[in-house]
């Protein structure tokens, strides 16, 4: 089974957010498809071998799964929440684990980007999570980060209109392998290196709230220096924002570091005009780890 550890633990390029972020979204509609896929894949435990053809040989996913965490952007008591001082420590730790530049925001100052020009933002908190795939024989470790900034619209008319509160959510997720070889046969005579076969990151808002993507996002293999994807294994990356969900997903076969980066804006009804004081955000991650066999 996989496990969660707060804060990034011991197993734990400079970039700006492209595009512009002041488009008005549509409100959330249908049921979350992300979790349905997780249930079909076997949850957070050891997966049955799933196969797909990619390059030479057959890619077989051997372990992986996903998890979901309920966040409250208005709260401060979540066990995985990082305050402003703790964020710097966490970012420094990730630079050691994954190499400089893999996490685009080494300090809080680096969150100010072209999409924030003329917009006042305030750090509202960050949430960090670590997962190991899988616990008995750890083949891979993945660290995930969700960072929230309160966005001020800046006009008295906006404040009077009761359009609600807006947050900018930046997502980062990176995974690395533990160098443990996978025993293909029951006797352990034939062992092979593992690789990531898929990697996902997602947030969703409840009915009545709304969400829109900011920029196109990025996902794929990374070099230890934070450089772009390498070789012919860049894979397939998708960024999807619809029905109140924002999802980043990469699919391929890569035996090194993979990372996902994306940004979205979320709107909630004004808490002062609503019975609900919480600002809920569903936060989900997923990954697959497998091997390539000749047949």
Q: Which residue has the tokens 């109140």?
A: 244
- Give me the helices (H) in 144-200, please: 156-161
Reported pTM? 0.77
Structure confidence by residue, pLDDT tens digits, 130-183: 999 987 889 999 999 999 999 876 444 444 444 688 999 999 999 999 989 998
Domain span at residue 124 reads 3-293
Q: Please state, rounded to an integer, the average pLDDT across all residues of the chain.
A: 77
Q: What was the pLDDT predicted at 50?
A: 54
User: With left for phi above 0 and alpha for psi between -120 and 50, is residue 29 left, alpha or beta?
Assistant: alpha
Place of tokens 């998890």: 67
Please determine, for residue 48, whether its predicted confidence score (pLDDT) is greater than 90: no
Q: Which of 81-85, 121-125, 229-233 has the weakest average pLDDT?
A: 229-233
Report CA-CA distances (Å) from 95 to 5, 8, 167, 243: 18, 12, 26, 34
Please state the domain count of the chain: 1
Digit-coded pLDDT (tens) for 31-43: 445 444 444 443 4
Q: How far apart are CA 70 and CA 22, in angstroms?
A: 26
What's residue 191's pLDDT?
87
pLDDT tens digits, 50-90: 555 445 678 899 999 999 999 999 887 778 999 999 999 99
Cα–Cα nearest to 128, from 63, 75, 69: 69
């Amino acid at each position: 089974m996989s496990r969660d550890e707060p804060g990034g633990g011991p197993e734990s390029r400079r970039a700006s957010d492209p595009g512009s972020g002041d488009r008005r979204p549509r409100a959330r509609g249908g049921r979350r498809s992300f979790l349905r896929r997780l249930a079909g894949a076997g949850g957070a435990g050891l997966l049955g071998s799933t196969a797909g053809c990619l390059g030479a040989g057959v890619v077989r996913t051997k372990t992986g799964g996903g998890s979901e965490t309920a966040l409250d952007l208005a709260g401060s008591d979540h066990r995985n929440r990082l305050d402003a001082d703790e964020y710097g420590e966490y970012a420094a730790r990730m630079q050691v684990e994954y190499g400089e530049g893999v996490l685009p925001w080494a300090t809080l100052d680096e969150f100010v980007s072209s999409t924030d020009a003329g917009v006042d933002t305030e750090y509202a908190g960050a949430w960090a999570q670590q997962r190991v795939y899988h616990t008995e024989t750890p083949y891979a470790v993945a660290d995930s980060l969700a960072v929230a900034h309160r966005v001020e619209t800046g006009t008295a008319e906006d404040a009077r209109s009761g359009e609600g509160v807006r947050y900018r959510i930046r997502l980062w997720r990176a995974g690395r392998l533990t160098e443990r070889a996978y025993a293909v046969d029951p006797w352990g005579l034939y062992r092979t290196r593992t690789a990531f076969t898929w990697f996902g990151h997602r947030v969703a808002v409840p009915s009545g709230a709304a969400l829109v993507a900011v920029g196109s996002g990025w996902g794929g293999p990374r070099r230890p220096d934070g450089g772009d994807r390498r070789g012919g294994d860049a894979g397939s990356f998708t960024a999807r924002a619809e029905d109140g969900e924002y999802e980043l997903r990469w699919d391929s076969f890569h035996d090194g570091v993979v990372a996902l980066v994306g940004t979205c804006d979320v709107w909630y009804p004004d808490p002062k005009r609503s019975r609900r004081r919480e600002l809920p955000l569903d936060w989900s991650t997923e990954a697959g780890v497998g091997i390539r066999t000749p047949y």
